[in-house]
Structure 1
Amino acid sequence: MLFQYYPSVPHSYKYELHKDMNFAAAHFIPASSAGHCADMHGHTYVADITIVGNELDEAGFLVNFADLKKLIHGRYDHTLLNGHEEFNGAPGEESGKFPTTEVVAKQIWERIEAYLSERPNRPHCLQVLVRETPTSYVIYRP
């Protein structure tokens, strides 16, 4: 795997953790403006998740890397993204959106942040980067 450093933003937390992972998934964007992306096709997505915090847990982790992989890779790998409830609905509706790279990045952030909010050491997801192709990626920062 290529080791790569991604853009980050300044923060005052003591720890900054990055987890890179790949997942293979198909999607389509059922919109007239999507061009070829309206047809079902697949990608090997690369996601970089940035977690920050000041306190480690009882094991000495900000968060366990394996837990992050299970949350994202375990949910999306070898699936049709359009089949997940978080990607149902019309563009602009809060109930769901088409699985564009932007929306995938936001949904990954929401999934991880919900998990982190229950941890006693209170880490936060600072950003999620999703690379759809070798030349195209999106960063979501709330």
Structure 2
Amino acid sequence: MIQQIYPTVAHNYRYELNKDMQFAAAHYVPTERAGKCSRVHGHTYFANITIVGDELDDSGFLVNFAEIKELIHKRFDHSLLNDHDDLFSDEDAERFPTTEVVARTMSEIIQSYLDQAANKPICVQVFLRETPTSYVVYRPLAGGSR
């Protein structure tokens, strides 16, 4: 894992959890404007997920690190992102598997899982590095809106 300093999110919660992970995945961006990226190619993605909350669960966790990794790594590692038809689309630019959309989708997957927890943690940021020189930071709007 790359030693990395991530952008921080201002918040007033008692706890902040950050989970780093990496996964290897291929994708293509289905538009001519993507240039070479319109062809299938792969990346080793590096992600940092930031989750906040005021209360711990009955195991003493804000959320178990392993559960967050399971949600993302198991789903995306060694896959073609475009094949995840439930998440991405070749027809809708808002659902092309760009780094921006993948980061937003990761946030939505994680928040959907967190919404089931009694202590109600919140995913406030997904940092997703696609290459050593390119990354996206996604922060959901308050209230869960895009």
Asked if TM exceeds 0.5, the reply is yes
Residues 30 and 90 in structure 2, CA contact (< 8 A), matched pair in contact too: no
Determine the C-alpha separation between the residues in 1 that align with 2:139 and 2:78.
26
Determine the C-alpha separation between the residues in 1 that align with 2:5 and 2:18.
9
Determine the C-alpha separation between the residues in 1 that align with 2:41 and 2:90.
19
Question: Residue 81 in 1 paired to residue 75 in 2?
Answer: no
Determine the C-alpha separation between the residues in 1 that align with 2:83 and 2:45.
17
Aligned to 2:91: 90
Question: Residue 7 in 1 paired to residue 43 in 2?
Answer: no
- 1:119 counterpart SS class: coil
> Which of 92, 101, 107 is residue 103 of structure 1 equivalent to?
101
- Return the offset for 1:3: 2.7
Task: List, as ranges, runs of 4+ consecutive aligned residues in structure 1 with deviation greater than 4 Å.
Answer: none
Determine the C-alpha separation between the residues in 2 that align with 1:75 and 1:67.
12
> Over aligned residue pairs, what C-alpha RMSD do you find?
1.0
Give the unaligned 5+ runs of structure 1. Answer: none
What amino acid is aligned across from residue 91 of structure 1 in structure 2? D
Aligned to 1:66: 66
- Return the offset for 1:90: 2.3
- 1:87 counterpart SS class: coil
Determine the C-alpha separation between the residues in 2 that align with 1:90 and 1:78.
23
> Which of 105, 112, 117 is residue 115 of structure 2 equivalent to?
117
- Return the offset for 1:38: 0.5
| Percent identical | 60
Determine the C-alpha separation between the residues in 1 that align with 2:98 and 2:107.
14
Aligned to 1:127: 125
- Normalised to the residue count of structure 1, the TM-score between the two structures is 0.94
Q: How does 1:10-89 map to 2 (within 5 A)?
A: 10-85=10-85, 86-89=87-90
What amino acid is aligned across from residue 120 of structure 2 in structure 1? R
Determine the C-alpha separation between the residues in 2 that align with 1:91 and 1:48.
26
What amino acid is aligned across from residue 96 of structure 2 in structure 1? F
Aligned residue pair count: 139
Residues 82 and 90 in structure 2, CA contact (< 8 A), matched pair in contact too: no
- Once the two structures are superposed, residues 46-91 of structure 1 have per-residue CA deviations (whole angstroms, 9 ceiling, x without a partner) of 0100000000011110000000000000100000000002112423
